[in-house]
Amino acid sequence: MKKKHGVFLGFAVLTIAAIFTVAGCDSGGGGGSNLIRISTAAQFNAIRNRLDGHYVLEADIDLSGYTNWEPIGQFEALSEAESETPNPAKVFSGTFDGNGHTISNITINQPQLYVGVGLFGVNFGSIRNLTVKNVDVTGYYLAGGVVGMQGGTLENITLNGTNTIRGSQGIGGIVGVNFGAISNCAARANIVVSNDPAYPLQSPYNGNSGGILLGGMEGGSIANCIVNGGSVTAASVADCWGLGGLAGNVYNGPSVINCRAENITVTASGTNNSRVGGLVGFTGTFEGDPTSVSGCGVSNVIIAVSDTTTQVGGLIGGNWINTDDSQEDHLPSRYHISSCTVNGCTITGGTESVGSIAGYAYNSIIENSTATNATWNGGTINQIGKADNGSWGFLKLTYQCLTPLSDPYPTIKGAVASCGCPASA
């Protein structure tokens, strides 16, 4: 499968959205007289036989009897010409209401499935009100504890217990990669990001995009989600990028609202890594409004990276540069951080663009946000490692001391020092 963008997200998202108009599909989890009630593991497994059905869970389910769970809904290319668009007949496109129940003890070892590994491999329907517990997943590309490839709606999903999810690109606790909407979810998991075995030494195919809630996101939104406990590890992976406590990246998405990451560790020990954050590794849009990161926070976060790692932030690691030929200027993405907090962040390693709030900010806005109890290699740390506006627009820095900039077109580097704001307490 050809990856069109420098990120892993090369799928034809607009085409996907147009295709998945499922007749009679109630995104609220309804279904009326067509509602199918699930109370056993065998009944749950049978969902794969009717992927557009409406289901409600009426009992807790233990899947330990399945030694290698086959994901419900899988990726199959719509055609050779549309190799990045899933066949709607093969994905889950119905509704599943967990009804407050728990599905537990899930083991999946499916690295041969190129795209989409999870309890649900590919979801373009609605999954809600579900707790998933004790998941051990090994995938390859777009792997999650609950959903591998997510293009529908997820809400009120909790992942707890002991959970480990492994893979190369787009690896998350609840979701591998999201193209839809996620809200009111919580996760605790250990994420392990490895090299792409097909390209073990060739960037950009090395491991990337790992987060405890979700690996990455394109064009979607996330709201009211929390991570409490867990880790993201890319050990000895060179040229790795996009690691975050909540999400590895939020690429070209509208917003991250009221989300938190607490008591987590992010580790990237290989050489020349980049874009590592306590909340999100990197984010931003290229056109229109910048990605809004609002009302979010991190606390008790440990970030350990190699001495050659760049763009490291307590909240946001940095921006993405889209190398797609359609973007001739190749300018970095833009984001807007507002009303966010960092309380307790220890960063070790890193060579440049390291900050307690953001590692690197290009033509972005950071306002009404604070960082306390943050250190870099045992010493003080600026709230923004490096800020730049190039020759386009201006960068607004109104964090902590809320100092205005008199010149609307400065070339800003070493952000905190240049605007006179203090380093983090």
* Residues 387-405: tens digit of each pLDDT: 987 543 334 444 443 333 3
pLDDT tens string 45-56: 999 999 999 999
Could you give the percent of the chain with pLDDT greater than 90?
Answer: 68
Question: Tokens 């499922």 label which residue?
Answer: 22
Number of domains in the chain: 1
- Asked if residue 363 belongs to a domain, the reply is yes
Whether 166 has a pLDDT exceeding 90, the answer reads: yes
Establish whether the linkage from the previous residue to 197 is cis, with ω within 30° of 0: no
- Asked if residue 181 belongs to a domain, the reply is no
Whether 25 has a pLDDT exceeding 60, the answer reads: no
- Asked if residue 106 belongs to a domain, the reply is no
The region of weakest confidence among 317-326, 348-357, 408-417 is 408-417
394 or 130, higher pLDDT: 130
- Asked if residue 104 belongs to a domain, the reply is no
Query: What confidence tier does 198 reach under pLDDT thresholds 50, 70, 90?
Result: low
Whether 340 has a pLDDT exceeding 50, the answer reads: yes
- Asked if residue 183 belongs to a domain, the reply is no
Quick one: pLDDT at residue 132? 98
- Asked if residue 305 belongs to a domain, the reply is yes
- Asked if residue 193 belongs to a domain, the reply is no
Query: What confidence tier does 200 reach under pLDDT thresholds 50, 70, 90?
Result: low
Q: Which residues contact 298 (CB under 8 A, 6 or more apart)?
A: 245, 260, 261, 262, 278, 279, 314, 315, 341, 342, 343, 345
Quick one: pLDDT at residue 80? 82
Quick one: pLDDT at residue 51? 97
424 or 89, higher pLDDT: 89
Neighbours of 164 (CB within 10 A): 17
- Asked if residue 69 belongs to a domain, the reply is no
Question: 315-354 b/e with 16+ CB inside 10 Å = b?
Answer: bbbbbbebeeeeeeeebbbbbbbbebbbbbbbbbbbeebb
Range of the domain at 360: 219-425
Average pLDDT along the chain: 85
Quick one: pLDDT at residue 204? 57
Whether 415 has a pLDDT exceeding 60, the answer reads: no
Whether 92 has a pLDDT exceeding 90, the answer reads: yes
| pTM exceeds 0.75 for this model | yes
